[in-house]
Structure 1
Amino acid sequence: MPVNAAQKTAINEVVNALTGATSRRTKRRLADMFLDLVDRDSWPEYYEVIPQPRCINGVKANLSQNKYKNALDAFQDLNLVFLNALYYNQEGSQIAKDAATLKGILENEWRARSVLPPPPPSPATSAPQDAQPKKEPKERAAATPAPVRSHSSAKLQPAPAAPPRAHVNATPSTSSQVKEVVKQKSPERSASPDMDVDIGGTPEPELTGHDAARDGESEEIVRQLEKSLPRWEGFDDVGWAEDITPDRMLEIVVTLSKYRDEHGNKLAASLEAVPEETSIPELSFTSPLSLQLIESRARMKYYETSQAFDKEMAQLFLKARRWYEIGTEPYGNVVALQRFYQALTSPNPPAAPYVSNTKFAALPAGPGTATSLSAPPPEGMTGPALTTIRLSLRDKKLLDEVHYKGWTIRIADWLHLSNPDDPSRPIVGHVFKCFVSEEPQRKGQLGVSVCWYFRPEQTLHPADRQFFENEVFKSSHFADHPLEDILEKVACQFTVRHARGRPRPPFWYPGWPLYVCDSRYNDRERAFVKIKNWNSCIPEEFRKKAEFMPIYPFERAVMPRRVPSPFLTNPKLKAPGAIIDAVPGEKEKEKAESEKPDSGSGRSKRPKRAAVTKAEDQRAAAKAGVPYVPPIPLSSTSTQQPALAPYMQVAAPREDRSIVAAAGGLAALGSSAIMEELPAETARHFDRDPETNEVLWFGAPPVDIVHTPPPQYSLKYLAFLARKRKAALQGDQAHPMDVDGEAPAPKRRKMPPTATETLEALLKEHGLWN
């Protein structure tokens, strides 16, 4: 039956009773926390735990718009507001108490109005309590609530102490039902007390502050955790080469040892320089191994099967990759030789003379050079168009997994792939599809469709930009690679997860390359965009699954180190990226953003300094010996940047508050300037910038002004709290920190009567008192 006018009036009266309810002592409005929905950007995990979020203002809006067909629908929505809060927050917390109080008021006020149908005896079917059992008190005690901030008071009330692992540093929002947080698992996920599998974006304050500084203690936390993790057991017995005769084995080894690239360099020299006996702890084998040893065994026809030979060659390349550092020339020689070996053992091996302009990689270009088939190339780029902006499923038969050289590759795995531009920097790819090709020229060929992630040296960025160590950037480039391009499996974590712990097997093992991702990179606009929704970056099949890269957690958050641009640390670096000037129009856009009124986030935007001028950037780049790339020119009829894709926005330029910028830049300092980094043991004692994690410095002493002292508790209030705690210990009160409770009146100790009082009592007893 539709809601009639009388029922609508009665429901509004119930809502007014809820919004007008206050605490007995402080007169604080209890419903302030429940008026609006929880901020999705600040608390994305709330929407993963709570399937049907509701708020009081939403119910009022639906009621005014006549969206309710039944009065009980309005009751269930109101009831769900408080059920969600009781489920998500810790028992005994202030917001849980307020929710319980308002829930009782709702039921009483609803039953007091005869025009409304009686409320149902059980919660709404969409309540989260029906989707997942409530945690027992012991389990809930393991989580630590964040500080509680009341809308009516600026004081922070202390939260109960608990183990530090589950602590969440919450940033207050203008309307939030989440003020004390208990980490709950989504109903779709398996309940594991130490598994953190939330995929959504996480508020930035969880990654900043003094606890996130990378110091000696942080290094020890990382080292101890990685030391205790399970070790990789080695290659599986899948995907190995077949039908390689003993003569062919010897021919392959001799070809590798004699091969020279187009510059005449003998690549096998880097492989031969690796000691035959090494003590690399992350390897799954300890037996001596070298190219000469394998050649000797091939001459003696030691290998009984193709798999035995192929596996030992894979172990040799793995050993050499762990011996050298990624990005060095010897590492690149090893990777190029590995790709050459995989070409020789493929179903269609190349014929002599062995020459390749792409280092035998299947694609002609890599990140920073290749362009998209779906869009015109950025201005100034002339690389081949071979990638797409979305997955192509044409002429492909999709597979659940593929096998190659002992690796089992599935959707959502991370890989190192052969980079035709620079073998020392393999392509970091995220697998979105596994397939067997049905194209006529590639009929039956197995491959993977991956999303490319760019390294810092493959991007165009300003000189003052800093990067996380081992940071990569998600791009909009998707490419198909044959299995021969696969070098090894790696792992990549989004920043929030990387600061919390390390991936569990089989996603990562100690010794495997591990990357961190914080932003997207738009190579057309030369812009970095911080990723707010991590779900959009992983394959659709894994966006709501618990098994996607769970972690072993740290004792506390540990941020990765920050490093300067690779073009500043290595002026001789040759890579597709470069140092560029700020894009024209950035200053105007920044000024417009700073003049916008606050959107209600509770935080004011700080003005940012303008980027350095073009002339300064040119001088700085020339002094450092790095390439300089001019900004993207704009059309004469437009003062704005070209429009981006719907999901991207140009990142606003960051304020450069370093001492170098304050001194006028590198050009003003000249060659006599000497810069040294503060030791970690010294820097840990000083406050840090929340944006750059750098030590704060000041060019002058503080201004001599009188500061208003912070509010302090009065002695009367402290005595009141002491009485409450004492009463709680004696069992007269349920909770010593019940802010809305009233302390019992202190009991006076009975004193003995005086002599006058005793005499008066005797006279009255004998009737002698007048």
Structure 2
Amino acid sequence: MPITSAQKAAIEEVITRITSMHSSGRSKYQLAGMFLELVDRKDWSEYYEIIPEPRCLNHIRSSVEKNRYKDALDVYTDLSLVFWNALFYNEPDSIIANDAATLKATLESEWKKRPILPLPRSFSPPPSSAQKVHKMAVDSPPPNSAPPAPTRAGTTRKGVASQTPKSPPAPPTLAAIEGLDSSEMEVDVEGMQDDMDVQGGDSEAGPDTGRNPGDDEIIRQLEKGLPKWPGASDKGWMQEVSPDRYSEIVHAIKTYKDVVGNRLALALESIPDDAAVANLSYTAPLSLKLIESRARHKNYASSKEFDMDMAKLFEKARRWHEPTSEPYGRTLLLQRLYHALTSAKPPPGPPYSSTSNFAFMAAGPSSSKSGGEGANFSSLRMLAKAKTAVDELHYKGWSIKLGDWVHVSNPDDPARPIPGQVFKCWASTDPARLGEPGVTVAWYFRPEQTFHPASRTFFENEVFKSSHFGDHPLEDIIERIAVQFTARHIRGRPRSPHWYPGWPLYVCDSRYHDQERTFVRIKNWNSCIPEILRKNADYMPIYEFERVVYPPRISSPFVVKSGKIAVKGPGGIIDGNNTVEADVSSLGRKRTRRGGQEIGTPTQRASPALPVYDPSATGPSLTVVPGFEYQTSQLSHQLIPVVKRPDRTITSVIGSIAGHQVQSEELPPETARYFDRDPETNEVLWFAAPPLDIAIPPAPRHSMEYLHFLAKRKKALADESSATPSEAKRTKTVPPTVTETMREVYMDVMRS
């Protein structure tokens, strides 16, 4: 949970108490003096080889002041690491080790004294400490056994030259970190049967979906001990271009504006150079301003170096901003623009513009628009036409192969990239796109992209398997992710290289049929993955939890709660039977259940509170439905219905909408741009009636002649009251009147 102001004040008190402690005796010194700054990397390079997570008090204090921590327990972990690292690295009887033990005890006691601060589950070394990491490398615990007591395996004494360094311990091996045999962690997905196979049935995971108080801590402790992502590889970077091109690309990113005029690069510029972002592949300061300076001064030796810096910047921005937020969406849109600018066929410009937010597909999940120029979108699996299969592709340091999970660009809403699984890697044999690589991705829908009853609940980060497959060029790939079936998600986290801490992680429990608007529990996960991988018994093994941990459940994104803003489509709320068809294109068409029972036309069954969305238009569209207001999405700039607004139309006065036909008309882009928008919410100001055509008379004002008369009279009165007899005879210089000044200006203009 986010750190409150009261917790922040309490943490600052704890840090102040630690840094203010002094030793006893004659030579008093500050106990925390050796722990204020990080160890000098040049003088003590072996320290960074032995200590996996170096920490210092000044950096932690600065991060707390700048609100960079998301959880108070993370602050405690970092503070304790300062002293655990010192205890590990230095000899037990050294002065530094004794000071570290004293300060660690002070930290524990001061933390306990403040009830506002959450207590850690234990005061043992964190999983990322050297005690835990190197201990596992020496003696891995057996499966499901309790962790051993922390032991010291230090080598040298920090800051004491008289100590003889020993050889540093060997880095932990992958087998030592994993600990368990992969065969023991296989989950019988075939055996997880469920009788729930009805239309619209809500999904439950197991007999007990309640959350225990320690569930989050179990997840946090496991993920902290997992291996970190080593970073991008050396393959897949942009072709060599002129150094002047680097500045052009950065300038295009910095100056790009949406159709409303918002400059999207503010989402990148708001991130500090030294922002503390967890689970990044690098630690050096980096910002758009720094990259721009390096490009301007031609400090990049190759295009690959420039491309890698930009990829790291987008990685940092994706972790900094909250997923699905507006800054997050702007970051992903700029990343997709950057991919287009560094491709073999960059878009025409500047200025750069795109009706699909630079994505290759013309429409995203739950949109009736399909395909587009050159696009390949289908509800069937892609055929091998005009494609040659390849084993692996490399793009921006990512390695993409069959079965990998990725985020691909969403043309309708960049803030919600499409989760999907790669079903094929290929190179195009089409003469128009000869040799261009791409991937065929099975799409997964988010809850806000589905139609469901208002009472339905979802797992946190839940997605749904769909029947849609899309052919995407490599430029559409945002990043690698992971999706787990519920049977494994509740038991652990995917092993590397399938997933690393910091990567987006989703859980899938059901299929979603967007035509039927129904959910069906997945009984056989093997049917959802590529056929070649079904025979692999070790597909996506996991690191196991101590016990089963169910993800929390959340309400429908369309249900408004206190302090929460309802999500706007493209899905919506339907009745409990999950059979109402609200699509405009299906009006008048009868629908039947699986047994052949007729359920009537959508017009007969539609509820007055049902929002109608028409995504078939090519530009910003307006679906006119009595009783609803409309606003424009800040990212897709389409008019969409606002649910649960009061009905202020003439039909509400009549008392019924029966007999009124629903009409849908396209609002052309050249017309939509003339609509006024709210400066704060960016919503289109839409009114039910045109403005009154009444001339507003101007306010009365004085004529120039009268103003000239007033000026002359004021001047005369001033002269009479202040002039002496001797001064009255002199010629006085007075400022010109308004009329004289205007006449002089007019003459100057005419002369020029």
Q: Which residue of 2 aligns with 1:578?
A: 572
Q: For residues 471 and 413 of structure 2, what CA distance do their matches in structure 1 show?
A: 18
Q: Please tell me whether residue 626 in structure 1 is matched to residue 638 in structure 2.
A: no
**Distance in structure 2 (CA, Å) of the matches to 1:584 and 1:464:** 11
- Separation in structure 2 between the aligned mates of residue 404 and residue 251 of structure 1, nearest angstrom: 22
> Match for 1:392: what amino acid?
L
Counterpart of 2:271 (choices 259, 270, 274) is 274
Write out aligned runs for 1:347-366 (5 A). 347-352=344-349, 353-366=351-364
- Deviation (angstroms), 1:326: 1.2
- Does 2:185 align with 1:195? yes
1:483 aligns with 2:480: no
2:215 pairs with one of 211, 214, 218: 218
Aligned 8 A contact 2:378 2:469 in 1: yes
Distance 1:329 1:192 in 2: 40
Structure 2 contact 465–512 (Cα < 8 Å) conserved: yes
Q: Which residue of 2 aligns with 1:529?
A: 520
Report matched runs for 1:218-617 at 5 Å. 218-352=215-349, 353-370=351-368, 386-569=377-560, 571-583=565-577
Give the Cα–Cα distance (whole angstroms) in 2 for the partners of residues 589 and 482 of structure 1.
39
In structure 2, do the counterparts of structure 1 residues 499 and 204 end up closer, same or farther at CA, with 3 Å as the change threshold? Answer: farther
1:321-341 alpha-carbon deviations (Å, 9 max, x no partner) = 000111100000000000001
Q: Deviations over 1:386-430 (max 9, x none)?
A: 323222211110001100000000101010111110000001111
Distance in structure 1 (CA, Å) of the matches to 2:190 and 2:578: 33
Task: Find the residue that maps to 1:475 and give its secondary structure.
Answer: strand
The CA deviation at 1:446 is 0.2
Aligned equivalents of 1:576, 1:369: Cα separation in 2: 7
3-state SS, counterpart of residue 342 of structure 1: helix
Report the CA distance between 1:441 and its aligned residue: 1.3
Deviation of 1:547 (Å): 3.3
Structure 1 position 214, deviation (Å):
1.6
- The one-letter code sitting in structure 1 at the alignment partner of 2:553 is R
For 1:345, give the aligned amino acid.
Answer: T
Secondary structure of 2:182 counterpart: coil
SS at match of 2:214: helix
- Counterpart secondary structure, 1:247: helix
Residue 366 of structure 2 aligns with an amino acid whose one-letter code is: G
Give, in whole Å, the separation in 2 of the partners of 1:357 and 1:590. Answer: 37
- SS of 1:509's equivalent in the other structure is coil
Contact 1:370 1:386 in 2 (8 A): no
CA gap 1:625/1:262 in 2 versus in 1, 3 angstroms: closer
Secondary structure of 2:559 counterpart: helix
8 A contact 1:581–1:617 mirrored in 2: no
The answer (yes or no) to whether the contact 2:356–2:412 under 8 Å persists in 1 is yes
Given that 2:186 and 2:538 are in contact with CA atoms closer than 8 Å, whether structure 1 keeps it comes out as no
Question: Could you say which residue in structure 2 is the equivalent of 1:608?
Answer: none
Instruction: Report the secondary structure of 1:567's partner residue.
Output: coil
Q: Cα gap change, 1:433/1:627 in structure 2, threshold over 3 Å: closer, same or farther? A: farther
SS of equivalent residue, structure 2 residue 384: coil
Q: 1:245 deviation in Å? A: 1.6
CA contact (8 A) 2:362 2:370 kept: no
CA distance, structure 2, for counterparts of residue 495 and residue 365 of structure 1: 29
Distance 1:512 1:350 in 2: 30
Aligned-residue offset at 1:317: 0.3
Given that residues 207 and 557 in structure 1 are in contact (C-alpha distance below 8 angstroms), is that contact kept between their aligned partners in structure 2?
no
| Partner-residue secondary structure (3-state), 1:566 | coil
> For the residues of structure 2 that align with 1:293 and 1:163, how far apart are their CA atoms?
48
Structure 1 position 582, deviation (Å): 3.6
Counterparts of 1:302 and 1:524 in 2: how far apart (Å)? 54
Cα distance between partner residues in 2 of 1:428 and 1:422: 13
Cα deviation for residue 263 of structure 1 reads 1.6
Partner secondary structure for residue 491 of structure 1: strand
SS at structure 2 position matched to 1:393: coil
Shift of 1:575: 2.5
Give the C-alpha shift of residue 572 in structure 1: 4.8
Q: Offset at 1:227?
A: 1.1
Distance 1:564 1:616 in 2: 22
**Secondary structure of residue in 2 paired with 1:216:** coil
Q: Comparing 212-221 with 559-568, which one deviates more in the overlay?
A: 212-221
How far is the alpha carbon of 1:573 from its aligned partner?
2.6
Deviations along 1:45-90, one digit per CA (max 9) or x if unpaired, are xxxxxxxxxxxxxxxxxxxxxxxxxxxxxxxxxxxxxxxxxxxxxx
List alignment gaps of at least 5 residues for structure 2: 1-141, 147-179, 196-203, 581-590, 597-604, 612-626, 630-640, 646-752
Secondary structure of the residue aligned to 1:543 is: helix
Name the CA shift for 1:447/1:201 in 2 (closer, same or farther; >3 Å): farther
Name the SS for the 2:367 alignment partner. coil
Question: Structure 1 pair 324/585, CA: closer, same or farther in 2 (3 Å)?
Answer: closer
Letter in 2 for 1:227: K
Q: How does 1:669-708 map to 2 (within 5 A)?
A: none
- The SS at the match of 1:579 is strand
Structure with more contact order per residue of length (Cα contacts < 8 Å, sep ≥ 6): 1
Paired amino acid for 1:581: D
Q: What is the CA–CA distance in structure 1 between the aligned matches of 2:436 and 2:304, rounded to whole Å?
A: 20
**Take 1:385 and 1:250, find their aligned partners in 2: how far apart are those partners?**
34
What displacement does 1:208 show? Answer: 2.9
**2: distance between equivalents of 1:313 and 1:203?**
46
Matches within 5 A, 1:112-261: 192=182, 194-196=184-186, 198-200=188-190, 202-203=192-193, 207-210=205-208, 212-261=209-258
CA distance in 2, matches of 1:501, 1:435: 32
CA distance in 2, matches of 1:286, 1:191: 33
Aligned to 2:670: none
- Structure 1's unaligned 5+ residue stretches are 1-141, 144-161, 165-189, 374-383, 594-612, 629-770
Deviations 1:689-732 (A, max 9, x none): xxxxxxxxxxxxxxxxxxxxxxxxxxxxxxxxxxxxxxxxxxxx
Post-superposition Cα deviations, 1:106-127, rounded to whole Å, max 9, x if no partner, equal xxxxxxxxxxxxxxxxxxxxxx
Aligned partner of residue 501 in structure 2, secondary structure: coil
Give the superposition deviation at 1:307.
0.8
8 Å contact 1:196–1:553 — kept in the other structure? no
Structure 2 distance, partners of 1:278, 1:573, is: 29
For 1:666-688, what per-residue CA distance to the aligned partner results, in whole angstroms no more than 9, with x for missing partners? xxxxxxxxxxxxxxxxxxxxxxx
Distance in 1 (CA, whole Å) between partners of 2:422 and 2:248 is 34
Q: Do the aligned partners of residues 197 and 447 (structure 1) sit closer, same or farther apart at CA in structure 2, a change above 3 Å counting? A: farther
Displacement after TM superposition at 1:195 (Å) = 2.8
Q: In the superposition, relative to structure 1, how do residues 191 and 232 fare at CA in structure 2: closer, same or farther (>3 Å)?
A: closer
Cα distance 1:540–1:258, how it changes in 2: closer, same or farther (>3 A)?
Answer: same
Deviation at 1:627, TM superposition (A): 6.9
For the Cα contact (< 8 Å) 1:370–1:387, is it kept in 2? no
